[in-house]
Chain A
Amino acid sequence: MAQRQISYREAVAEAIIEEMTRDDRVFLMGEDIAVVGGAFGATKGILAAFGEERVMDTPISETAIVGYAVGAAMTGLRPVVEIMRCDWMTICMDEIVNQAAKMRYFTAGRPEMAMVIRTATEGGIGLGAQHSQSFEAWFAHIPGLKVVMPSTPYDVKGLLKSAIRDPNPVIFMEPIILYGTSGPVPKEDYTIPLGQADVKREGKDATIVCWGAVTSRVMNAAKMLADEGIDTEVIDIRTIRPLDIEAILASVRKTGRLVVAHEANKTGGFGAEIVAQVQEKAFDHLDAPIQRVAANDVLIPINRNLELMVLPREEQVIAGVKAVL
């Protein structure tokens, strides 16, 4: 029998429903998440299943959404809150960086800080420069946070369930362009550990490390390269922090060549961190300078053609691989 196919947004909702069923300390808060089921439809049906005591629409108050989650987590609940767009995480950075990430430290490890902040991230759907950014590098910079960005329906279900069970604050980033994409997702309970990369394609000539929406474009590029006889290995890190650097190093030791692809802006992007770690830990295995494929260092325009130019596509990935061969 063919495996059940569901969309990324359905996989998000299914993970939440399973975890809310499993643990009555889990609850949801966010803007437009309850009655309409989320601005992008990822929490549809959850209000009907659990009622408004555990699924709460909030006012447009990003600092309160995250700050209340901190207080609720400190007193034993497990909030899963939504900040509608990653761009607006800027508004609650104090609550994320100075409060959530540091509360265990300031209280000698007394409370569990089990909380998840879900947010729609990255671009590609014409929403423009305040609705298309992806700040995984900022969050990954902060000790105390975990950062996850799944690229498939299968991964999002397994990783979100792990994030909800994790006793630390987790920034859970869902690429907006992926919500409508479908893939095989088991109906049963399964989890994917945070901090475990996934080899999405095995190959021997070069390694491409990626995460988020660019992953599917990287996979397309890998197929196109295969047609030319170039065999690439694609590693989707899935979790930005903690980073599965061992998986990357193992691949680089095998291929000797590395391209890092992500959708966020190139300068100061998380790709830079991976490049730095690889040269620190596997310099002798590298046969060519590492290449980065990322958004140009510009704002994201709404015009379809311009947006396509800015965000990394198959072409740039192919060029990146050819540059390291």
Chain B
Amino acid sequence: MELTKENLLDMYRQMVTIRLFEQNLMHYAGEGHVPGTGHVSIGEEAIAVGACRALAPQDYIISTHRAHGHLIARGTHIPTMLAEVFGKATGCTGGKGGSMHLSDFDRNILGTNGIVGGGINIAGGVGLTIKMKKTDQVSVCFFGDGASNRGVFHEGFNLASLWKIPVVYICTNNQYAMTLPLCKNCANQDISARATAYDMPGLRVDGTDVIAVYEAVSGALERARQGGGPSLIEIIAFRLQGHSMRMDAMPDGSSYRPEGEIADWWDNKDPIKIFREKLYGLGYLDDEVAATLEAAAKKDIDEATEFALNSPEPKPESIYEWIYA
């Protein structure tokens, strides 16, 4: 499907919403409102928005610890999500899951995961259901470059390809796994090349280009829907923040990242800035329209924050809920 001007502007609004959600979250984490930790995807917004735009409503998502963007891009109710991250009773898991355990069954987001790579096999099983029930769905699995080094990557990929399961694997290669750069993580830094070993297509896409992401994911979804089996899409991204809200630097406060990298990436690799310039170039966006979209995004986040801050604490007896059916 060709993206219309309206689509593109909406995608811009979504990217801005994700950015504001996470910047807001970092602020409130600093104020002590986020129990545990949270992982922001600042710099990776084009991946969430490009990929989710390509999905059909009936498709499933299985995601990772860095998933706020995937939910927002899918249209999840932001107040419920923020309340969950704050550990409040009104959150999607009643304040018991937090940032790493978000889900939205009404939008077929079956869950994010606190175990790196934990979703890879689950996504295969979701795809197996689709295959067995012969429904017109695809299972989409987000994971990171770090997860690609877990054994489950091998087991899950081999089986999905062997059984021609409708899965699209989206590897967000943000070039870091916690503090460790890609060159110290992956013997072959071209993660997409591993697809060959499983006899499936492997693509590499620029994660600052939301339209390129949309197109690559659309193609893989189509292939899966036609019975062609799984694909691996490696999307190169630029992590503009620290790993998590707890882990941003070396113990002595210095950075584990090369000098100047973050500033350089903010200047040259910020997907929102890049998309904004593109939309200006196309004549779709001007200062006035941008201001309107950004104000709408800000309003959503402000309302969500109000809701989350004013939501009640979970009830003590809720600790027993949802363990057994």
Q: Can you identify 20 A-B contacts, CB atoms within 8 angstroms?
A: A59-B155, A64-B152, A67-B124, A67-B125, A68-B125, A68-B156, A68-B159, A70-B122, A71-B125, A74-B110, A77-B132, A104-B323, A105-B322, A106-B97, A106-B101, A106-B111, A110-B105, A113-B325, A143-B323, A167-B325
Which residues does chain A contribute within 8 Å of B321, judged by CB atoms?
A: 105, 109
* A33–B322 CA distance with the chains assembled, in angstroms: 32
> Digit string of B99-129 for contact with A (CB within 8 Å is 1, else 0)?
0010101000011011100101111111111
Interface residues of B (CB under 8 A from A): 60, 62, 92-94, 96-97, 101, 103, 105, 110-111, 113-115, 118, 120-130, 132-133, 139, 151-152, 155-156, 158-159, 162-163, 321-325
* A67–B159 CA distance with the chains assembled, in angstroms: 11
How many whole Å from A284's CB to the nearest CB in chain B?
A: 29
Contact B97 A72 (CB under 8 A): no
Q: Which of B118, B122, B325 interacts with A109 by CB under 8 Å?
A: B325
Which of B121, B158, B325 has the most C-beta atoms of chain A within 10 angstroms of its own C-beta? B121
Q: Which of B96, B139, B152, B156 interacts with A105 by CB under 8 Å?
A: B96
Which residues does chain B contribute within 8 Å of A69, judged by CB atoms?
A: 125
Q: Tell yes or no: A112 within 8 A of B by CB.
A: yes
Which residues does chain B contribute within 8 Å of A77, judged by CB atoms?
A: 128-129, 132-133
How many whole Å from B7's CB to the nearest CB in chain A?
A: 29
* A72–B121 CA distance with the chains assembled, in angstroms: 10
* A69–B156 CA distance with the chains assembled, in angstroms: 12
> Digit string of A62-83 for contact with B (CB within 8 Å is 1, else 0)?
1110111111111111010000
Which residues does chain A contribute within 8 Å of B129, judged by CB atoms?
A: 71-72, 75-77
Contact B97 A71 (CB under 8 A): no
Q: Which of B94, B105, B124 interacts with A68 by CB under 8 Å?
A: B124
Residue on A with the closest CB to B121? Answer: A67
* A77–B124 CA distance with the chains assembled, in angstroms: 13
Contact A67 B120 (CB under 8 A): yes
Contact A59 B158 (CB under 8 A): yes
* A34–B254 CA distance with the chains assembled, in angstroms: 57
How many whole Å from B227's CB to the nearest CB in chain A?
A: 14
Q: Tell yes or no: A107 within 8 A of B by CB.
A: yes
Which residues does chain A contribute within 8 Å of B115, judged by CB atoms?
A: 94, 98-99
Residue on B with the closest CB to A100? Answer: B122
Residues of A221-238 contacting chain B, CB below 8 A: none
- With contact pairs A64-B155, A106-B111, A109-B321 given, residues A53 and B118 touching in the complex (Cβ less than 8 Å): no
Q: Tell yes or no: A95 within 8 A of B by CB.
A: yes
Contact A71 B122 (CB under 8 A): yes
Residues of A201-222 contacting chain B, CB below 8 A: none
Q: Tell yes or no: A108 within 8 A of B by CB.
A: yes
Interface residues of A (CB under 8 A from B): 27, 53-54, 56, 58-59, 61-64, 66-77, 79, 94-95, 98-99, 103-113, 143-144, 146, 167-168
How many whole Å from A84's CB to the nearest CB in chain B?
A: 15
Interchain residue pairs A-B with the least CB separation, the first 5 = A67-B121, A71-B125, A68-B125, A167-B325, A61-B155
Contact A59 B159 (CB under 8 A): yes
Q: Which of A61, A105, A111, A112 interacts with B323 by CB under 8 Å?
A: A105
Which residues does chain B contribute within 8 Å of A109, judged by CB atoms?
A: 321-322, 325
Which residues does chain B contribute within 8 Å of A66, judged by CB atoms?
A: 121
Residue on B with the closest CB to A142? Answer: B323
Contact A67 B126 (CB under 8 A): no
Residue on B with the closest CB to A94? Answer: B115
Which residues does chain B contribute within 8 Å of A68, judged by CB atoms?
A: 121-122, 124-125, 128, 156, 159
How many whole Å from A34's CB to the nearest CB in chain B?
A: 13
* A73–B132 CA distance with the chains assembled, in angstroms: 12
Residue on A with the closest CB to B141? Answer: A71
- With contact pairs A63-B155, A94-B115, A108-B93 given, residues A71 and B126 touching in the complex (Cβ less than 8 Å): yes
Which of B97, B139, B159, B324 has the most C-beta atoms of chain A within 10 angstroms of its own C-beta? B324
* A184–B155 CA distance with the chains assembled, in angstroms: 41
